[in-house]
Structure 1
């Protein structure tokens, strides 16, 4: 019953995302035909423009375009991307393979580092360590991702020359010939820029829970029994603080995609984020809709996984989640 309910919710979410995304895409002032022609727009006559519009189905009424796309999507046909001149499914698969190491490692690092900093700060509230971590978290939480990316690029790539300026591999080298060391070298700065936002939020939420635990009655009783602050933090605080940390971590999947769009744009990293920007600029409706559905499905799945993890961390929540 619980699984069926989640599947119904997923279907409703995807349906709402599809309708809203299509409506927003069609409300855009970008003319897909003009964007497709690019520099050749002055040489294209009315007949050629009409042929292009007919080729992409843009000459049909908007409701007809939507139901045509919906019917194709239900049978697994996501359409053809005007931006990349390739099937949408191939574009997403290729770009996702590039974005997965970036977003996956950023998500993992932000969770581990943020949780560790939150435990460290919350176990000693109002100490110099706590003040330093809070200052670090507040500054990073209020700093835009694109600004941090530009700052890192200016210092480490332009100023010091330690890291590449752009891309997922050396310029002029085909992706198949890029070594994993070269990929890692190009991944460092985008990964650092994307990890910053998640670290700050998780650290602050974990710290708040840790302070509450360290001031609770059972923590005071444990200290009266001779337990050290470190033992209380590890045995009791970490387990209780894991729930809000996991909540923020999985809830940040949507922000992770948003941050990847900005980071990939700054570093010219050829992932899903950059593909989203290109699709928006060129009015590539099939690719935009597929990306919106893909992101929604990914975030929904992450939240579902979070429920499973909650039960492992705290079995007492199992009954609450099933209701």
Structure 2
């Protein structure tokens, strides 16, 4: 019986995954096709003396003269064979660019993910324990303010303060300028990673903190906690014995659900800090009308976000039997 539920759940996720990719592929291709930018001109760039005949050959080579439906069918067939095309900017296969850039972005997003989780959970616990008192009021205003501040603005402020004025961190890039890749040390990479990761972590830590606060307040106002207070149990003991076990699971689920925010925010953070990751590549592809790279990154980001949300659901279902039963009876 258990194996049947596993097969059923796996099939449901597979159907959702395939449907998502098909929908995103169609929508992305339509939007790119409606773009007023001439891809031939973007490919040629500033090269002079390109005749109309040469432009026509380039357009014919890329299949730009074919009907949109035919071009989509050819592109989709290539995707099924693992061919995402060639980047117009980098002049390399799209999958090679995505693999190279994602390695840098993954380090950035994982570091920011850990920062935001620890910072958000800690602040949320402080606000919940001191509910209604001055630490709660001050931190709550800070979190609400951070929810409204754009990521790029935080990055610019961090650059001005910590890089320009204090000189604690480099201005950008993932490695020191002029140093060969094989000579870059781990400490140098971490030094370049801290500031953009901290900037990116500010995108989601406030949501985790506010969510954790609300859950902790509900727990601390319950009858069994009031009885513990009446019995003389300390505030820290109450938080450790009763609060922590009840708020940790929602916080973890909230944290896994922030994958999409981190992926979207990485585009702005990497642009501000000139960090050579997937977000910067997506920004460059959009500005330069690199259609193959832009479509490839779009599909890859959809897969990344879907996997993050799926992991959140799986972890929540494993940890909480009631949630798991709800998933099993949702159909």
Give the TM interval when normalised to the shorter protein.
over 0.9
Matching residue of 2:5: none
Check whether the contact 2:173–2:275 (CA below 8 A) recurs between aligned residues.
yes
Matching residue of 1:14: 21
- 2:65 is aligned with 1:75: no
Matching residue of 2:325: 319
CA gap 1:141/1:228 in 2 versus in 1, 3 angstroms: same
* TM-score, with length taken from structure 1: 0.95
Matching residue of 1:57: 63
* TM-score, with length taken from structure 2: 0.92
Equivalent residues in 2 for 1:136-285 (5 A)?
A: 136-285=142-291
Check whether the contact 2:113–2:262 (CA below 8 A) recurs between aligned residues.
yes
| Inter-partner Cα distance in structure 1 for 2:115 and 2:166 | 25
| Inter-partner Cα distance in structure 1 for 2:65 and 2:178 | 39
Check whether the contact 1:242–1:313 (CA below 8 A) recurs between aligned residues.
no
Matching residue of 2:3: none
Could you report, residue by residue, the CA deviation over 1:9-63 in whole angstroms, capped at 9, with x for unpaired residues? 11111111111111111222222222222222x5322112112222322222211
Matching residue of 1:94: 100
| Inter-partner Cα distance in structure 2 for 1:45 and 1:160 | 53
Partner of residue 44 from structure 1, selected from 37, 40, 50: 50
Check whether the contact 1:307–1:321 (CA below 8 A) recurs between aligned residues.
no
Q: Which runs of 5+ in 2 are unaligned?
A: 1-7
Matching residue of 1:301: 307
Matching residue of 1:108: 114
CA gap 1:196/1:85 in 2 versus in 1, 3 angstroms: same
Larger mean Cα displacement after TM superposition, 134-143 or 216-225: 216-225
Q: Which runs of 5+ in 1 are unaligned?
A: none
Shift of residue 312, structure 1, vs aligned partner = 4.3
| Inter-partner Cα distance in structure 2 for 1:234 and 1:18 | 48
Check whether the contact 2:257–2:312 (CA below 8 A) recurs between aligned residues.
no
Matching residue of 1:32: 39
| Inter-partner Cα distance in structure 1 for 2:271 and 2:102 | 15
The alignment partner of 1:43 has SS state of coil
- How many aligned residue pairs are there? 322
Could you report, residue by residue, the CA deviation over 1:237-256 in whole angstroms, capped at 9, with x for unpaired residues? 22222343233212211111
Matching residue of 1:129: 135
Cα RMSD, aligned residues only: 1.6
